[in-house]
């Protein structure tokens, strides 16, 4: 297996250590064995990258949701304070 785009050393840095070791071990196999394994390895590497990307997106979305919740809670508390102030003003008049 020649330097396949999905298994190039610069691109495997983001992969888990075990998968990088597997890619390296496969690259040391004779060419005919590499060719037999190449498509399966490509699918595994692509799937791992896709899952990592999805995980990053989910983590970002959760972070944004937490921030949005903080803003909503702040707004709710401010609205309640305003409501209570208006009630006190009405009761005093």
Q: How many domains does the chain have?
A: 1
The model carries a pTM of: 0.66
Q: How confident is the model over 3-60, as pLDDT tens digits?
A: 444 445 556 668 999 999 999 999 999 999 999 999 999 999 999 999 999 999 999 9
- Nearest residue to 27 via CA among 15, 14, 16, 12: 12
Helix (H, G, I), strand (E, B) or coil at 39: helix
- pLDDT tens sequence across 44-86: 999 999 999 999 999 999 999 999 999 999 999 999 999 999 9
Q: Which helix (H) or strand (E) holds 83?
A: helix 31-92
- Domain presence at residue 2: no
What CA–CA distance (Å, rounded) separates 83 from 93?
16
- Give yes or no for a contact between 35 and 61, defined as CB atoms under 8 angstroms apart: no
Which residue range is the domain that position 25 belongs to? 9-92
The DSSP output letter for 29 is S
With respect to residue 4, please indicate whether it lies within any of the assigned structural domains: no
Which runs of E-coded beta strand occur in 24-93? Answer: none
């Amino acid at each position: 297996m020649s330097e396949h785009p999905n298994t190039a050393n610069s691109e495997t840095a983001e992969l888990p250590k075990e998968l990088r070791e597997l890619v390296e071990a496969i690259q040391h196999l004779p060419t005919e064995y590499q060719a037999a394994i190449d498509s399966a390895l490509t699918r595994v590497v692509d799937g791992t990258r896709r899952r990592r990307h999805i995980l990053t997106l989910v983590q970002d979305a959760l972070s944004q949701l937490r921030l949005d919740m903080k803003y909503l809670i702040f707004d709710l508390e401010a609205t309640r304070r305003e409501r209570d102030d208006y009630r006190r003003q009405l009761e005093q008049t």
